[in-house]
Amino acid sequence: MGREIDCRNFDLNLRSALRESELLNLVDEISDRLPSSHRVRIERFGATRGSPVRILSEGSPAESGNFIRRAISHISDISPILGLAAGQAVEFVADENFQTTSDGAVAVHLQQSYKGLNIFEATQVVRFSPEGALSDTLGETARIEGDFDPIPKLAVSDAVRRAAEHIAVPGDDEHNVDHFGEALNYSTLNFEDASFEVIEKLSDGPEQTCYCAPGPFEDRIKASLIWFQIDGDLRLAWEILITLPNSEGQYRTLVDADSGSILYCHQLMQWIAGRGNVFQVDGSQNRRMIDFPRALADYGLPVPDDLPSSMPDDWIDGTRSAGNSVNAHLDSNGPGLEGDLQNGQVVFNPADADGDEQKVLNIFYYNAYMHDFFYLLGYRERDGNFQQNNFNRGGLASDRVDARAHSGPVFGTANMATPIDGRSPVMNMGLVSSTNRHTAFDSSVVFHEFMHGVTNRLVGGPANSRALDAPQSGGMGEGWGDYIACTINQNDTVGSWVTNRALGIRGFRYDSSFPDHFGDLGSGRYTRVHNIGEIWATTLLDMNRRIGITLALQLVVDALKLSPASPGFLDMRDAILAALENHRTANIIDAITYRNALHGIWAAFAA
């Protein structure tokens, strides 16, 4: 058995015809209580919890602002049809950083709780149209029947040790090579004499959030209490985050707070005014001296009217390869690159085009480029973007990318781990030893990994780092990474240069010859997240060709904000369609463009 497990039975369908009938019969009564001509309608139910997963709003009055208050009020108003048990309290906490799409639509993410503790994968997103009217709610509510005690029997230090024992040894079914073909040489961990005592308490609340001593692991271990629902039964669990040495992985593990059994374990590490002499695309081309920051016109995207006047912000602070969006350096704790001050400019020009300094410079350049690219698409401070200083524009600061260019190979060859807003994501780029080429010199690899950070912050909101753990969600995470790399570089492969392989790290080119489709999910090669992601990527790239890259990119980013947590392929398709509808409502596109795009999107998803 591998380290990644999930004790829930996803073959179990908890939908009940009687229960659905009872909820549907309440819809008119609830609608009559809503203000003005606002009516609600249950569009569909989910199998995981048997609760409504989408409730449409029709005739809601348009209002400006107060989105969080209105979202909480709306959830309370419609709570009788959310699927809660009789007498169950309506407990939801809103992420104060609501998300706004390019056309003015707003998504407010809410986390369901019980007795002050979050419930695992129980969220709602309340969406508003560009005019400020309620559009719908998405998410599956946890139904809790009975009374459960939020006091753990298992001490947190014992739970951490149990989690450590589980993740310390790879399972027999785990891969021994990564998708670059490089060997995965796992570290041997010995923590028999290690202590995992609490070294810092972060909360006196019911969640009991704390840091425990790291033992042999890379970083101190964060732990807190959470509810985990298994086939309708509610379990109290310790949620534990452990980072393995040498960036070999980061695991979220849920340990039953009564029995000590492992309920859930998931790998979080996702693989894949100056001047600098950089490889713009990859190492197949000569270096080119580029001004930092890049001019906004270089990105090929429309410049939004609401862009801060300071944009593009400076990429560097002082004379090092560090700035507001990224701190690039060698290895885990090695030095950054020092530039030379020439005529009032800091110039980065490593003597060795293949050396360590060049690796640091290139990983810095690619990350800073991506920050500004996504800023133009609306991924900003309030959305949880990666910045050390947020300039009072919302969101949490102090979370620029910690970009590490390793001299040699690194576990997994290339990876990125992204915590919640306010904590820095960590990107690792290493050498592909079979080709002696470095991933820091291949933009397609860095762009792919950066996109993991974007999707982890946008889907489910910047305060939810668990929103892409589900199998189809994880597959789309890989697909989005390939999509953005191919779109920016205008090609149909990822990692071709660094692997010295025409197809790169995937099985097929992302062009019209791609042989498979949605119907192949779950069979053959399409059972693992990277392969599942190929189907998602090829669909989005087909959409690019049908409706145009500029519109497609904006719809994809807007859809990430509109998405519920733990989305499936159809959820994201619907979010893209909702983003298109919002574009038309806000008069960003005309009727002809809307009709053509609608046809193109449906054609891409039907191919």
φ and ψ of 120, to 5 deg: -60, 125
- Within this chain, do residues 239 and 298 fall inside the same structural domain, yes or no? no
pLDDT band at residue 571 using 50, 70 and 90 as cut-offs: very high
Q: Which residues contact 146 (CB under 8 A, 6 or more apart)?
A: 234
Output the pLDDT for position 179.
64
CATH number reported for the structural domain that contains residue 545 in this entry? 1.10.390.10
- Within this chain, do residues 387 and 522 fall inside the same structural domain, yes or no? no
Give 21-36 pLDDT, tens digit per residue: 999 999 999 999 998 8
For residue 375, which of 281, 310, 435, 464 has the smallest C-alpha distance?
310
- Within this chain, do residues 291 and 431 fall inside the same structural domain, yes or no? yes
Give 461-479 pLDDT, tens digit per residue: 999 988 999 889 999 999 9
Give 321-362 pLDDT, tens digit per residue: 999 999 999 999 999 999 987 766 899 999 999 999 999 999
| % of residues, the chain, pLDDT over 90 | 77
For residue 240, list its beta bridge partners: 223, 253
pLDDT band at residue 204 using 50, 70 and 90 as cut-offs: confident
For residue 45, which of 76, 14, 69 has the smallest C-alpha distance?
14
Query: If 0-12 CB within 10 Å is exposed, 13-18 middle and 19+ buried, where does residue 349 land?
Result: middle
Q: Is the pLDDT of residue 159 over 80?
A: yes
**Host domain of residue 585:** 468-491+501-607
φ and ψ of 310, to 5 deg: -80, -15
Residue 449 is a catalytic residue: yes
Looking at the 3D structure of the chain, how many domains does it have?
4
Q: Strand pairing of 106-114 and 99-100?
A: antiparallel
Would 394 be classed as within a structural domain?
Answer: yes
Q: Is the pLDDT of residue 184 over 60?
A: yes
pLDDT band at residue 176 using 50, 70 and 90 as cut-offs: low
For residue 365, what are its two tokens?
């350049």
Q: How far is CA 3 from CA 164, 166, 168, in A?
A: 11, 7, 9
- Cβ atoms of 437 and 283 closer than 8 Å: yes
- Within this chain, do residues 191 and 323 fall inside the same structural domain, yes or no? no
Q: How far apart are CA 78 and CA 92, in angstroms?
A: 13
Query: If 0-12 CB within 10 Å is exposed, 13-18 middle and 19+ buried, where does residue 554 land?
Result: buried
Mean pLDDT to the nearest integer, 118-130: 96
Output the pLDDT for position 119.
97
pLDDT band at residue 1 using 50, 70 and 90 as cut-offs: very low
- Within this chain, do residues 524 and 425 fall inside the same structural domain, yes or no? no
The number of C-alpha atoms within 13 Å of 420 and in the hemisphere containing its C-beta is 13
DSSP 8-class letter at 394: S
Output the pLDDT for position 326.
98
- Within this chain, do residues 93 and 157 fall inside the same structural domain, yes or no? no
Would 78 be classed as within a structural domain?
Answer: yes
Q: Is the pLDDT of residue 496 over 90?
A: yes
Is the entire prediction scored with pTM above 0.85?
no
* Other CB atoms within 10 A of residue 146 CB: 8
- Within this chain, do residues 358 and 409 fall inside the same structural domain, yes or no? yes
Q: Is the pLDDT of residue 151 over 70?
A: yes
pLDDT band at residue 273 using 50, 70 and 90 as cut-offs: low
Q: Is the pLDDT of residue 271 over 80?
A: no
Output the pLDDT for position 175.
57
pLDDT band at residue 268 using 50, 70 and 90 as cut-offs: confident
Give 83-118 pLDDT, tens digit per residue: 999 999 999 999 998 999 999 999 999 999 999 999
Mean pLDDT to the nearest integer, 539-565: 98
Would 253 be classed as within a structural domain?
Answer: yes
pLDDT band at residue 10 using 50, 70 and 90 as cut-offs: confident
Mean pLDDT to the nearest integer, 527-551: 93
Q: How far is CA 25 from CA 20, 56, 489, in A?
A: 9, 15, 53
> Peptide bond before 312: cis, by omega within 30 degrees of 0?
yes
Structural domain ending residue among the three candidates 90, 115, 138: 138
For residue 118, which of 207, 244, 190 has the smallest C-alpha distance?
207
- Within this chain, do residues 309 and 427 fall inside the same structural domain, yes or no? yes
Q: Which of 449, 478, 534, 581 is catalytic?
A: 449
Mean pLDDT to the nearest integer, 428-432: 97
- Within this chain, do residues 256 and 278 fall inside the same structural domain, yes or no? no
Q: How far apart are CA 312 and CA 371, in angstroms?
A: 10
Mean pLDDT to the nearest integer, 255-282: 89
Average pLDDT, the chain: 93
Higher pLDDT, 546 or 343: 546
Would 6 be classed as within a structural domain?
Answer: no
Q: How far is CA 573 from CA 123, 379, 565, in A?
A: 19, 20, 14
Structural domain ending residue among the three candidates 222, 244, 267: 267
Q: Is the pLDDT of residue 197 over 60?
A: yes
Mean pLDDT to the nearest integer, 497-507: 95
Phi-psi region of 444 (alpha: psi -120 to 50; beta: other; left: phi over 0): alpha
Mean pLDDT to the nearest integer, 276-291: 96
- Within this chain, do residues 448 and 515 fall inside the same structural domain, yes or no? no
Structural domain ending residue among the three candidates 229, 252, 267: 267
Would 3 be classed as within a structural domain?
Answer: no
